[in-house]
Amino acid sequence: MDWRDEGALLSVRGHGESAAIIEVFTAGHGRHAGVVRGGASRRLAPVLQPGAQIDVTWRGRLEEHIGTFTVEPLRSRTGLLGDRLALAGLNSVCALLRFALPEREAHPGLYAASVALLDRLGAEPDWVLSYLRWELLLLEDLGYGLDLGSCAVTGSREDLAYVSPKSGRAVARAAAGEWADRLLPLPACLLGQGGATPEELGQGLRLTGHFLEHHLAHDLGTRPLPEARRRFVQMLGRQG
């Protein structure tokens, strides 16, 4: 069994004296693990950094085996090492993909958006907003999408200001009434209304974080959300 694909490197861990086990998010084969012989060597270790874009060839005796990867670097993202917030964003993306994606299941739309986001980190002024929208896409792609198109109560598309923490549907300001304090604020930046202030970004990440934690993670079992996401949100809050 063998195939070739391109992907973003999500994680690396040592295996034996000189090998490494890597996880890659690929376009056609989803999140996939494999052994890289010599992965801990001086030649390959600098290439095998989380976030790197690599060309991989996988081989295994049987499809269900972990198999081995042959790796060729395409582009490195080590330039983010000088930008602590962007590096934290990269670590959060990689950790959430490892946490949320089932193994060996293709998610081509999410893959394309993830690679585009990794390329954007630290390189564009509004990359944090792109990250926030990526978390919305992650939820949607895995079946936990929010319905922000109209009010769940009135059907109106005007003055949407909240989201139901249970249903994920938007609620108009006037329709919220005395229930407003039980709803999650919906920042305008998630409705396609221009850029985002630090306050709006914080509201947006609290919104996506609620559904990541209380819906997605809840259904996956007892594992908490990755620590890398918490660190990124905290760092962003300090900068805001």
Tens digits of residue pLDDT in 65-97: 889 999 999 999 988 888 999 999 999 999 999
User: Does pLDDT of 240 surpass 70?
Assistant: no
User: Does pLDDT of 163 surpass 90?
Assistant: yes
Contact 121, 89 (CB under 8 A): yes
Q: What is the pLDDT of residue 65?
A: 80
Q: What is the pLDDT of residue 29?
A: 96
Tokens matching residue 39? 């992965």
Q: What is the pLDDT of residue 223?
A: 86
Q: Quote the CA–CA distance of 212 and 226 in Å, as a whole number.
A: 10
Which of 70-84, 143-157, 193-207 ranks highest by mean pLDDT?
A: 143-157
Give the number of other CB atoms < 10 A from CB of residue 58.
23
User: Does pLDDT of 4 surpass 80?
Assistant: yes
**What one-letter code names the amino acid at 181?**
D
Average the pLDDT over 150-157 and give the result.
Answer: 96
Q: Provide DSSP, 45-87.
A: TTT--TT-EEEEEEE-SSTTS--EEEEEEEE--GGGGG-HHHH
Q: Quote the CA–CA distance of 49 and 149 in Å, as a whole number.
A: 39
Q: Report in angstroms the alpha-carbon separations of 32 from 14, 35, 104, 124.
A: 16, 11, 5, 30
Q: What is the pLDDT of residue 106?
A: 97
Q: Which residues of 215-229 are buried (b: 16+ CB within 10 A; e: fewer)?
A: bbbeeeeeeebbebb
Q: Quote the CA–CA distance of 108 and 94 in Å, as a whole number.
A: 16
User: Does pLDDT of 193 surpass 80?
Assistant: no
Of 213, 202, 209, the C-alpha closest to 129 is: 202
What are the counts of helices (DSSP H) followed by strands (DSSP E) for the chain? Answer: 7, 8
User: Does pLDDT of 130 surpass 90?
Assistant: yes
Q: Quote the CA–CA distance of 224 and 147 in Å, as a whole number.
A: 25
Q: Provide DSSP, 134-150.
A: HHHHHHHHTT---B-SS
Contacts (Cβ under 8 Å, ≥6 apart) of 148? 160, 163, 169, 170, 186, 190, 191
Give the number of other CB atoms < 10 A from CB of residue 42.
7
